[in-house]
Every structure is written in structure tokens, then in C-alpha cells.
Amino acid sequence: MAIPASSGTYNFLPSIGEVVLNSYARIRIKRAEITEEHMQNARMMTNLLFVDWSVDIPNLWTIDLVSIPLVTGQATYDVDPSTVAILDAYISTDNGDGTTTDIIIYPISRTEYASFPDKSQQGRPTVFWFDRLLSPTITLWNVPDPSQNYTLKFYRAVQIQDANFVNGQQADIPYRFLEAYASGLAAKLAMIYAPDLEVLRTAQAEKAWQKAAQQDVETNVPLYLTPGISGYYR
């Protein structure tokens, strides 16, 4: 007997609307019973779910690299408001021969920045303060000096894109998080439409999230602990 062939495809990525229908099914609401109000609540709950996930950083698929050319004497620079957190930052110095030298810089708190006696001191930046305002900023110390061409580069976690129920739009999540999405949305919808199922669906959602989050890591990366060396900065 011949063994049936598998599909040979990897295209399973349902639209937001399809996931919503599945989530409603999990709280015993049939497709024929779904109204416009159901869909409006599902859209709001989907986006609130993504807010929850954005807080549980880092979500690897949301990380990108930002480059900001530095200006002599300017300490503070605007940061895109979609930035949830700055993960790693470094100063890239143009060597003038087509090459660059990258030196990592470290985060400090508002209190630490406030403690610096000379905030206008110029030199190669060594630390940064990320001020998480509605319009966030990043402030460097030392303040860039004119001796070099510096570029600030940092990896950031970006908020998950909005979920809109139009034109078969897909959620801004990877394949491995689809079950966590459907389970999490079902739990949030149960708060409104099926309170008797809320505890069960919440427990299932948390389990699905934990499974997905455990796999959302950089694999086979060793951990090195190295003491700070004062001579690292000139």
C-alpha cells in the first residue's frame, strides 16, 4: 500500500478573521451567531492581547536595528514611538578608510544621568539614557565631539503591528505563535461572552504562551560573563 504524500507546502498562516472565528468557537459561539459587535470586540481584544505580548519582551520577530548619525554637541535624539525597549546599543566610528569600529555602550537610569556633574562634556559616548516618554528620546554621555564621525546603532523591540480586519490581513506574528494567539484571544473574549469558561481558557492561553515563548530564543548561544575593564574606553 502506497503511503500518501504530504502536502509539500508551508503556507498555513490564517488571516486575523479566521483566527477570530476559531477563538469564538472555543467559547461556544458559532459562526452564524457572530455579529458586527462580536467582530469589533474581537479587534479590540486582539490588539490588547498584542499589547500584553509587547510587554513580555523581547519578542524576537519584532527586533530591528536603528542607525542615527550623531551631531557634534547634541546629546539627545528622538526615538520612534513604536519602540518598546532598547536592547543593545553601540557607537560606530568611521575610521576614514571605509571601515568602522564598533564599541558597545551601556544603559543608565534617570538618576544616574542626573548625577553627572558635567552633562555637556564631549567625547566618545559611553552610556545612554532611554527616556520612555510618549515621544521617547535617547540621551548620550559623553556628548559627541567633533574629532570623529559617530553613528549610534541600537537593537530595539518594536510593538506588534495593529490588527485590522480588512482584506484578509494576517497578524504580525510568526507561525510558532498562532496557537498562543488563538488561545489568548479566546480567553479575552470569554471575559465578555463566556465568563464560565474564562478560567479554563485563561489557563490554556497561559500554557500556549509559555510553550511559544520558550522557543522564541536565540539557540545555541553560549553565555559569557566578563568583568568590566576600565581601559576599554579611551
Q: How far apart are CA 221 and CA 210, in angstroms?
A: 20
Q: Which three cell numbers, joined as nine digits, stand for 61?
A: 520577530
Mean pLDDT confidence for 108-131: 97
Q: How far apart are CA 185 and CA 224, in angstroms?
A: 38
| pLDDT for the residue numbered 144 | 97
Mean pLDDT confidence for 90-94: 96
Lowest mean pLDDT among 22-26, 58-62, 219-223: 219-223
Instruction: Count Cβ atoms below 10 Å from residue 231 Cβ, excluding itself.
Output: 5
pLDDT 10s digits, 199-226: 999 999 999 999 999 988 887 667 676 6
Beta strands per DSSP E along 98-146: 100-107, 122-123, 127-131, 137-141, 143-144
| pLDDT for the residue numbered 188 | 98
**Global pTM value:** 0.84
For residue 99, the cross-strand partners are none
Each domain of the chain, given as residue ranges in start order, spans 16-58+160-215, 62-159
